[in-house]
């Protein structure tokens, strides 16, 4: 067991200004003194607010577009009505002007001279029906099926008034045979007034329609750009929030996971640096505390293991010295070097020698265990008979196998006789395998030991018909 004894140092590494976890914005969010739940809730609320803002802008844009469409429809209705009035007023003015020979094209058609009053009167009488019909149509058109705007109402009332007055004047002219220049002039003036008022209404609505169409086009472009900019800004801000918040969590988690992996591999020489002032910061602090505590415990365990190994080595040495003397004297007595022994004394000497050898084997096993734990195991490699080792192992478990009604058999390949290995440890392994086989083989079962040479290696197999080992426990056989 080994533990790094370096003084803990910060696991900072080379920082780059705009790497994900070390981004300045990410560090600012990480250092906010708020819980993770609060940060996540704030981020979700911000994203929800952005979505609401984009939705409100969309509703506003749609509302404005709908309002402009309604206004345009109203203006188009006004324009159609006023153009109908203008058309009828133009017909009336043209007929009356043609009869009177006015100062414009009609006078030009009269060779530059005004029409005599008598001819004008006759013309007006002859065209009276046409003018009356046109005035009727004009009056009908003036009864618009929409509500005129405030600045249009006066002009529309004037059109209706002049239409009624002109109908009255034309009725007087057509019904009277007397010549009246005053009525002729009055009819011409009324016709001109109708034309002027209707033209003003038509021009005004046309101009307003053109202005509204231009404003609608401009407003649509502005609204579209505003909506696109707001939506793009919302998306960018949402992505930025997600990026910053996620990396303020991912970065510390990655560092903590890396440090835990180092601790699991036995490296206690470093600390993890987590700048967060939330649960992740607390987690980093706890990991550092655990690192220091485990380092202290590993050092204590290493010292305890070293002391134990030293104690076992000293104890085995101190025990083997008198035990070797006991075994030596028992062998001397067994060989009758100091005289003959009676049968009972011989049995006692045999018991002393057997017990001493058993105790010496236990001491050697304890010493071997301490060497294994200290990584100082030494193999005593030498040639020996594998057949004898197998047979001796079978002899050691035969009595217990007989009690359990378990049959034992050995199949030693002829080419496998003498091998080079640590005989004592090979016998230990064989004894352990045979003992477990006898223990777990049911009554009436059979245990077979076989040896074979495969690709230059010696394979020794112990097979039984017991329950066997679970797959998850097979890797522990050689522990």
**Residue 160 backbone class (left: φ over 0; alpha: ψ -120 to 50; beta: rest):** alpha
What is the pLDDT at residue 344? 81
Beta bridge partners of 459: 452
Residue 124 in contact with residue 173, Cβ under 8 Å? yes
Q: Which two tokens stand for residue 302?
A: 């290493």
Beta bridge partners of 461: 450
Q: How far apart are CA 134 and CA 137, in angstroms?
A: 5
Q: Which two tokens stand for residue 78?
A: 């006004």
What is the pLDDT at residue 9? 47
- The count of other CB atoms within 10 Å of the CB of residue 289 is 11
Q: For 227-260, write each residue's pLDDT tens digit.
A: 788 778 778 877 887 777 777 777 788 888 888 8
What is the pLDDT at residue 25? 65
Q: For 351-360, write each residue's pLDDT tens digit.
A: 787 777 767 7
What contacts 337, CB < 8 A, 6 or more positions away?
A: none
User: For strand 446-454 and strand 407-411, is the pairing parallel, antiparallel, or unpaired?
Assistant: parallel
What contacts 300, CB < 8 A, 6 or more positions away?
A: none
What is the pLDDT at residue 13? 42
In the block, residue with structure tokens 């043209």:
94
Residue 183 in contact with residue 173, Cβ under 8 Å? yes
Q: How far apart are CA 87 and CA 93, in angstroms?
A: 10
Q: How far apart are CA 210 and CA 213, in angstroms?
A: 5
What contacts 393, CB < 8 A, 6 or more positions away?
A: 427, 430, 431, 434, 449
**Radius of gyration for the alpha carbons in the chain, expressed in angstroms and rounded:** 59
Rounded to 5°, the CA angle 112-118-124 comes to 90
What is the pLDDT at residue 14? 40
What is the pLDDT at residue 127? 66
Domains and CATH numbers, the chain: 1-277 (no CATH), 298-373 (1.10.287.130), 379-476 (3.30.565.10)
Distance of CA 22 to the CA centre of its chain: 20
Residue 184 in contact with residue 120, Cβ under 8 Å? yes
State the angle between helix axes of 36-100 and 128-142 in degrees (0 to 180), rounded to the nearest 10: 160
Classify the C-alpha dihedral 388-391-393-396 as positive or negative: negative
What is the pLDDT at residue 191? 77
The parts of the chain modelled with pLDDT lower than 70 are 1-32, 34, 36, 100-121, 124-128, 176-180, 358, 367, 369-377, 473-479
CA distances from 140 to 163, 164, 188, 244 (A): 10, 11, 21, 71
Residue 268 in contact with residue 240, Cβ under 8 Å? no
What is the pLDDT at residue 239? 81
3-state secondary structure of 198: helix
Phi (first) and psi of residue 10, to 5 degrees: -70, 135
What is the pLDDT at residue 34? 67
What is the pLDDT at residue 228? 82
Q: Which letter does DSSP use for residue 375 in this model?
A: T
């Amino acid at each position: 067991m080994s533990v790094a004894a370096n003084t803990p140092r910060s696991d900072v590494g080379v920082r780059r200004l705009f790497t994900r976890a070390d981004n300045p914005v990410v560090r600012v969010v990480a250092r906010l003194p708020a819980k993770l739940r609060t940060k996540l809730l704030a981020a979700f609320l911000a994203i929800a607010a952005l979505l609401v803002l984009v939705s409100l802008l969309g509703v506003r844009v749609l509302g404005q577009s709908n309002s402009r469409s309604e206004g345009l429809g109203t203006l188009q209705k006004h324009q159609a009505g006023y153009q109908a009035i203008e058309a009828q007023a133009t017909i009336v003015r043209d007929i009356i002007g043609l009869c009177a020979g006015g100062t414009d094209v009609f006078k030009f058609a009269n060779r530059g001279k005004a029409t005599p009053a008598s001819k004008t009167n006759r013309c007006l009488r002859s065209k009276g029906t046409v003018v009356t019909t046109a005035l009727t149509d004009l009056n009908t058109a003036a009864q618009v099926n929409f509500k005129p705007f405030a600045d249009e109402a006066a002009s529309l009332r004037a059109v209706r008034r002049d239409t009624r007055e002109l109908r009255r004047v034309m009725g007087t002219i057509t019904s009277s045979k007397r010549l009246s220049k005053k009525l002729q002039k009055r009819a011409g003036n009324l016709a001109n007034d109708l034309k002027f008022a209707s033209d003003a209404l038509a021009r005004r609505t046309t101009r307003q329609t053109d202005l509204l169409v231009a404003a609608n086009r401009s407003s649509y472009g502005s609204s579209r750009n505003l909506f696109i900019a707001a939506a793009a800004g919302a998306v960018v801000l949402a992505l930025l929030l997600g990026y910053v918040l996620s990396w303020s969590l991912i970065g510390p988690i990655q560092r903590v996971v890396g440090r835990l992996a180092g601790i699991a591999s036995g490296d206690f020489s470093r600390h993890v640096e987590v700048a967060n002032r939330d649960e992740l910061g607390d987690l980093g602090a706890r990991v550092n505390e655990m690192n220091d505590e485990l380092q202290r415990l590993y050092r204590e365990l290493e010292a305890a293991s070293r002391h134990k190994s030293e104690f076992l080595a000293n104890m085995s040495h101190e025990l083997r010295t008198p035990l070797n003397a006991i075994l030596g004297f028992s062998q001397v007595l067994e060989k009758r070097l100091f005289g003959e022994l009676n049968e009972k004394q011989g049995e006692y000497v045999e018991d002393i020698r057997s017990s001493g050898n058993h105790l010496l084997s236990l001491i050697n096993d304890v010493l071997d265990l301490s060497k294994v734990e200290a990584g100082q195991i030494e193999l005593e490699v030498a040639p020996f008979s594998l057949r004898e080792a197998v047979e001796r192992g079978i002899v050691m478990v035969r009595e217990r196998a007989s009690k359990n009604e378990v049959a034992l058999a050995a199949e030693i390949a002829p080419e496998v006789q003498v091998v080079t290995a640590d005989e004592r440890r090979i016998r230990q392994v064989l004894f352990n395998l045979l003992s477990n086989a006898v223990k777990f083989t049911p009554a009436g079962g059979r245990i077979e030991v076989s040896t074979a040479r495969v690709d230059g290696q010696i394979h020794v197999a112990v097979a039984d018909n017991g329950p066997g080992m679970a797959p998850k426990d097979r890797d522990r056989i050689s522990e």
